[in-house]
Amino acid sequence: MNTSDSPWIIYAESTPNPATMKFVANKALLPNKSATFNDPAEAAKDDLPGALFRFPFVKSVYLASNFVTLTKVDGIEWYDVMNEIREYIRDFLEAGNPIVSRIPEEKPLPSRQESAPSATLTPSPELDAQIAGILDEYIRPAVEQDGGEIAYRGFENGVVFVAMRGSCAGCPSSTLTLKAGIEQLLKRMGPGVTEVVAEND
């Protein structure tokens, strides 16, 4: 059976971040990509992120391979709006509306040269690839399961810089995950890694 001919099915999953909810689809939404929309101006009005911003309680939209993670404003409970959003996403997709018309540009890495100590481990493409590979193999699947994403941003002076997106952005438990899980793994497996720091995207 061709999955493109099958009806859309959307189900909701809670995440470790109480401010976010993950809505999973039975078909691909944004294959091999992800995108974060932090305000309506970053989304096209006729695509899925733009449509979701019509809900006044939606604060941000994170779109990945086969799921959408929404962050809500305070004062709204997910159980009051979860089914409405799930049905809205399903109906929007069933109608053949565009999923994503444009993806916001990723912000450039900030310059860190001012705070760099004199003794440094020089970054290299090989080292970047090794660290990114560790994150992709060991960390990314678990983070995506929780409706988020970890993106490698760079390595400098022993510090690995990452961006936490989706449900991981602003999650109360993300600091613990970063330090107790990700940092310890990279210290063991990544040469010269002394710390992992999450940056705002």
50, 51, 55, 57 alpha-carbon torsion, rounded to 10°: -40
Q: What is the pLDDT of residues 98-153, one digit of tens each?
A: 999 888 776 655 544 444 443 445 567 888 888 888 888 878 777 777 777 788 88
Query: Of the candidates 137, 165, 161, 134, which has an alpha carbon nearest to the alpha carbon of residue 150?
Result: 165
pLDDT of the residue at 159: 87
Residue 62 burial by Cβ neighbours in a 10 Å radius (0-12, 13-18, 19+): buried
Q: Say which CATH topology domain 3-94 has.
A: Ribosomal Protein S8; Chain: A, domain 1 (3.30.1370)
Give 145-180 as a DSSP string: HTTEEEEEEEEETTEEEEEEEETTTT-TTHHHIIII
Q: Which residues pair with 139 in a beta bridge?
A: none
The residue ranges of every structural domain in the chain are: 3-94, 113-199
pTM for this model (two decimals) = 0.72
Is 113 in a helix, a strand, or coil? helix
pLDDT of the residue at 172: 63
Q: Say which CATH topology domain 113-199 has.
A: GMP Synthetase; Chain A, domain 3 (3.30.300)
Q: To the nearest whole number, what is the mean pLDDT of the chain?
A: 82
